[in-house]
Amino acid sequence: MSGVEKYIKTTLKIREDIFLKGKLLASARGKTFSDILNEALEAYLREHENEIKQKIAEVVQ
């Protein structure tokens, strides 16, 4: 198996694992999977807000 095939298989397994854990977390909290994803995205954006603004400013210039 080539390195690319291993990378793809590993990536798919990680994504499947994240999906399943997200579904379990959503179920445990009585929320939808979309709610959990939105909360995670909002938290990420809050944590990295300055970096994101800086990158956007660099691209716009």
29 confidence band (pLDDT: 50, 70, 90): very high
Express as a percent the part of the chain with pLDDT over 90.
Answer: 80
Helix axes 3-29, 33-47, angle to 10 degrees: 110
pLDDT (0 to 100) of residue 2: 85
| pTM for the whole structure | 0.60
Q: Domain range for residue 37?
A: 3-60
Tokens describing residue 9: 């298989």
* Domain count along the chain: 1
**What pLDDT is attached to residue 61?**
86
Under 8 Å between Cβ of 36 and 22: yes
